Amino acid sequence: MANMYFLGSVMSALRDTVVGFQAKDVLDILIVTFLVYALLLLLKRTHSLFIASGFVIFLGIYLVGRFFNLYLTSIVFQEFFTFFAVIFAVIFQKELRNFFEWLYLWGRFSRIKQETVSEQVTELLLESVAYLANHKTGALIVLEGEQPVERFLEGGALLKGRISVPILLSIFDSSSPGHDGAVIIERDRIRKFGAHLPLADRFDGSRGLGTRHRAALGLSERTDALVIAVSEERGTISVAEHGELIVVPDIDSLRERVRKAMREKFFEEKETKWYSFLLHNAREKIFAALGAILLWFIVVVQFGAGTTTRQFSIPIEFRALPRGYVVEQVAPKEILLTLSGKTQDFNLLNSEDLQVIVFAPESAGGTQKIDIDEKFISHPATLSIASFSPKIIRYVLKKEVK
């Protein structure tokens, strides 16, 4: 019997929630979806999805505790989430900074992007990499994305020259002073050479990869650049992107990865296709949308389902008094106001938003009487006036003594 009552109360709360669904609730869910999506991308870019799994488990326990009114569990986990936010910010302060930079650039996805690495430049780059790999000449080439890489670079010399095979081969020649550094490519030009990249924080050296590959991985962890590394010992070609380092078997595979990276970072079409936006990171978008909807229903059903009423005592304010007059002996001095609305709207209510303002009419002074109407009462549009009292107030309008 108790289970049937519990199920009935839940279904009733869900029904009230669906019936009271408004346009602002759609906006609410969309905003939370965006925040959850951004968090998923941060965890994906930093390879920290295991943290999200633990957080979801703790959140589930906390919601169960709140739903069944488990006081101790609710208090303990409420304090945990407070400390978790601080710990999360401290541990991932570098990733958060890089992520917000990326988020700012991602927010401009709809702008037209016409400049990209051309097919001709790509082939020149691949020809150079193939030569370097065949001759086991170490190289580090950075294809810059949307995020600026300049603040992560150390040293290097500006070149700003067009890409060509002879230039790239001469830069990475062992007799060249900048052969140990990286070449930074922006669109169809070599912007800088001999630059030193930041080293990766998490690097597995068991595969026999050295500092050059660790630097390639380090820049890919901090930006959206694609970094090509050629091993000096083995002549293998590796690609670092999104914090992952992969050895490509041949030039054709490298060509495909470069083309794919350029398509993702720079739209060659003059207009952004809506379906391309939806399909990109589709799994994260679906999880974010489902998570936001589920979270909205849990919070609203548990803490804000249905319509409720609350009473407030609001002081009466007088404005636009006749020149030289003051108000005295107001009776009553407050209005008892009853508002109706959703619980979540009451939770967002600021008491300063409630006002009773009386505009005193022109008068010769003395005892005055005025009828109070709803137009005198200021309140949020999300809440409606159920009742108020009294309907009439009296006051004395007296000439001010100077």
pLDDT-wise least confident of 168-177, 209-218, 263-272, 313-322: 263-272
Per the document, the length of the chain is 402
345 touches 380 (CB < 8 A): yes
The predicted structure's pLDDT at residue 142: 94
The predicted structure's pLDDT at residue 205: 60
Give ∠ CA 367-372-378 in degrees, rounded to 5: 125
Taking the C-alpha atoms of residue 76 and residue 66, their distance in angstroms, rounded to an integer, is 11
Q: Residue 19: in which H helix or E strand, if any?
A: helix 2-19
Count other C-beta atoms under 10 Å from residue 343's C-beta.
15
Taking the C-alpha atoms of residue 10 and residue 311, their distance in angstroms, rounded to an integer, is 27
Share of the chain above pLDDT 70, in %: 76
Whole-prediction pTM value?
0.55
Taking the C-alpha atoms of residue 182 and residue 203, their distance in angstroms, rounded to an integer, is 19
335 touches 390 (CB < 8 A): yes
Taking the C-alpha atoms of residue 195 and residue 152, their distance in angstroms, rounded to an integer, is 10
The predicted structure's pLDDT at residue 8: 53
* Mean pLDDT value across residues 360-389: 83
106 touches 145 (CB < 8 A): no
The predicted structure's pLDDT at residue 34: 85
> pLDDT band at 52, cuts 50/70/90?
low
**Residue ranges of the chain that CATH labels 3.40.1700.10:** 119-270
Bond from prior residue into 332 cis (ω within 30 degrees of 0): yes
What integer best gives the mean pLDDT of the chain?
A: 79
Q: Is the pLDDT of residue 127 over 60?
A: yes
Provide the token pair at 227. Answer: 């970094």
* Mean pLDDT value across residues 294-309: 67
Look at residue 70 and give its three-state secondary structure. coil
pLDDT tens-digit series, residues 267-283: 444 344 455 555 667 78
Q: Which comes out higher in pLDDT, residue 16 or 84?
A: 84
β-bridge pairing 157-162 and 182-186: unpaired
CATH, domain range 119-270: 3.40.1700.10
Q: Which comes out higher in pLDDT, residue 203 or 246?
A: 246
Q: Which comes out higher in pLDDT, residue 20 or 66?
A: 66
pLDDT-wise least confident of 7-16, 248-257, 294-303: 7-16
Provide the token pair at 127. Answer: 């020809």
* Mean pLDDT value across residues 44-51: 65
> pLDDT band at 116, cuts 50/70/90?
low
381 touches 337 (CB < 8 A): no
Look at residue 400 and give its three-state secondary structure. coil
The predicted structure's pLDDT at residue 136: 92
> pLDDT band at 402, cuts 50/70/90?
low
Give ∠ CA 33-39-43 in degrees, rounded to 5: 145
Bond from prior residue into 390 cis (ω within 30 degrees of 0): yes
31 touches 295 (CB < 8 A): no
Q: Which comes out higher in pLDDT, residue 355 or 86?
A: 355
Taking the C-alpha atoms of residue 196 and residue 211, their distance in angstroms, rounded to an integer, is 11
Taking the C-alpha atoms of residue 12 and residue 6, their distance in angstroms, rounded to an integer, is 10
Q: Of the spans 62-66, 143-147, 319-323, 391-395, which averages the highest pLDDT?
A: 391-395
The predicted structure's pLDDT at residue 302: 56
The residues, any chain, with a CB within 8 Å of residue 374's CB and separated by 6 or more, are 385, 388
Answer CATH for 307-399 from 3.40.50.720, 3.20.19.10, 2.170.120.30, 3.20.20.140: 2.170.120.30
Q: Dihedral angle at the C-alpha atoms of 34, 38, 39, 43, nearest 10 degrees?
A: 150
Burial class (CB in 10 A: 0-12, 13-18, 19+), 252: exposed
The predicted structure's pLDDT at residue 117: 63
pLDDT tens-digit series, residues 311-356: 999 998 888 788 878 888 888 889 999 998 877 677 777 778 898 9
The predicted structure's pLDDT at residue 20: 58
| 327-to-113, 193, 318, 324, 378 alpha-carbon distances in Å | 66, 79, 8, 11, 21
The residues, any chain, with a CB within 8 Å of residue 384's CB and separated by 6 or more, are 339, 340, 341
396 touches 329 (CB < 8 A): yes
**Residue ranges of the chain that CATH labels 2.170.120.30:** 307-399
Q: Is the pLDDT of residue 5 over 50?
A: no
As beta bridge partners, residue 314 has: 335
The predicted structure's pLDDT at residue 277: 56
Burial class (CB in 10 A: 0-12, 13-18, 19+), 125: buried
Taking the C-alpha atoms of residue 266 and residue 140, their distance in angstroms, rounded to an integer, is 22
